[in-house]
Amino acid sequence: MLTRRMLLSAAAAAPAAAFFTRPAMAAEPYVFSEDGVAIRGADPVAYFTEAAPVIGSAGHALMWEGTTWHFASAENMEMFMANPTAYAPQYGGYCAFALSKGSLASTVPEAWTIHDDKLYLNYSVNVRQVWSEDIPGNIALADVQWPAILG
C-alpha cells in the first residue's frame, strides 16, 4: 500500500536518480570505482565492524576484481582478504536502487545499508531512503539485472 510519504520520498529521489543513472554501456567495469578506488576509498569491512563508513588509506590497500580497495587498518584488510565476498558491496558497488530500475549509477559511502549480512550502496542518502521502503523487493529486481546489465 502506497502512502503519501512513500510517494513524496520517491518523487524527491527520482530527479536525482534519473539524472545520474545511465543505461549500461558495453563493458562497464565489474566494480564501480572512482580513480581506480572502490567505494570512493571507504573501508568495506568497517561497515560491518564500525557500523559506519570509514575512509581507508593507500597504506592499507589491495587489488581485487580489478579495483583497488582501501582499508582503515591492516586487520580490516586481512579480514577482507580472507573472505572478500562477505564484505564487498553487492552489485559491484553500483547503486542498488538504480539497478532495481534497470540502470547503473554511482554511489557514495554515506548511503549504505546492511541487509541479511550484505552491504548495499546507493547514489545518495535520499535514494537510500526510497530503497529502504522495500529492500527485499528492490533486491529481487536488482538481482534480475546483475551482472548482465554490465554488457
Which whole number is the average pLDDT over 33-42? 97
Residues 97 and 132 in one domain: yes
| SS3 state of residue 70 | strand
Residues 150 and 93 in one domain: yes
29 vs 14: CA distance, rounded Å? 25
Distance of CA 17 to the CA centre of its chain: 14
53 vs 43: CA distance, rounded Å? 7
Higher pLDDT, 26 or 87: 87
pLDDT in tens, 43-57: 999 999 999 999 999
Task: Find residue 120's DSSP bridge partners.
Answer: 113
Torsion, CA 56, CA 58, CA 60, CA 61, rounded to 10: 100
* pLDDT of amino acid 18: 42
Q: Examine the pLDDT at 24 and tell me if it is beyond 70.
A: no
Domain end call among 69, 87, 105: 87
- Exposed / middle / buried, residue 33 (Cβ in 10 Å: 0-12, 13-18, 19+): buried
Average pLDDT value for the chain: 88
Which pLDDT band, with edges at 50, 70 and 90, does 25 fall under?
Answer: very low
Residues 62 and 110 in one domain: no
Question: Global pTM?
Answer: 0.84
* DSSP 8-class letter at 37: E
Residues 59 and 21 in one domain: no
* pLDDT of amino acid 20: 42
Give the count of domains, the chain.
2
Domain end call among 42, 65, 87: 87
Q: Examine the pLDDT at 105 and tell me if it is beyond 70.
A: yes
107 vs 67: CA distance, rounded Å? 15
Residues 96 and 146 in one domain: yes
* pLDDT of amino acid 7: 38
Residues 83 and 100 in one domain: no
Which pLDDT band, with edges at 50, 70 and 90, does 16 fall under?
Answer: very low
Q: How many CB atoms lie within 10 A of CB 143?
A: 12
| SS3 state of residue 107 | coil
Residues 45 and 94 in one domain: no
Residues 128 and 97 in one domain: yes
Residues 73 and 39 in one domain: yes
90 vs 120: CA distance, rounded Å? 5
Candidates 32, 88, 80, 33; CA nearest to 60 is 80
- Residue 21, domain extent: 1-25+89-151
